[in-house]
Amino acid sequence: MAIELQRDDLKRIEEHGQEDYPDECCGILLGKDQGARKIVTGILPLENARADPSLTGEQSEAVALLKQAYQLFVRIHPKDDLIRNWLQRADPAINSARNRFLIRPEDFVASEREARKRGVDILGFYHSHPDHPARPSEFDREHAWPWYTYLILRVEQGVPRETTGWLLTEDRAQFLPEEIAVTGGAGG
């Protein structure tokens, strides 16, 4: 399957990623599913609702150490959900806007209403990865739904780089790459 979007919409996604840097940006892809391809007719940029703590000095250093401990733990014990979930909740930096995005339920409902108003569907979501590759994280996989397209924009030191497309398998075990076709002209 492939997803097609207008160059202007891709540019708006890149601008959104640049504006929100060093935090992740997020938004919704609207359009039509035509079987072998999805055609994006517009995007809805949203506010990343993930709270970002204001930490300074020793607090910041402690959070950095906790984040390193979490990353080490996940590598050693990737299937221990109880401890991993506790560590994620305990560390605000792991769940900050700098490396997570959150769409408020009311924003999702408003996006569904907007899609109906335009006579289109929600095809998927986009978000940025500040200073990180444009590939889904394990957190992305755990919070994704099959069928939807997930576009990920890498923003390196505030500069938008590549955008990749992904589809989650029906068994939710992995993401598969989805081709992105960028066409000229204005989006919606």
Please determine, for residue 1, whether its predicted confidence score (pLDDT) is greater than 60.
yes
121 compared with 97, residue with greater pLDDT: 121
Contacts of 35 (CB under 8 A, 6+ apart): none
Q: How confident is the model at residue 64 (pLDDT cuts 50, 70, 90)?
A: low
What is this structure's pTM?
0.77
Domain boundaries along the sequence of the chain: 2-51+100-183, 57-90
Query: How is domain 2-51+100-183 classified at the CATH fold level?
Result: Cytidine Deaminase; domain 2 (3.40.140)
188 compared with 134, residue with greater pLDDT: 134
Q: How much is the mean pLDDT over the chain?
A: 85
The candidate with the shortest Cα–Cα distance to 72, out of 89, 59, 56, 84, is: 84
pLDDT for 50: 82
Residue owning tokens 């397209």: 149
C-alpha distances (whole Å) from 56 to each of 45, 63, 68, 130 are 30, 10, 17, 20
Please determine, for residue 79, whether its predicted confidence score (pLDDT) is greater than 80.
no
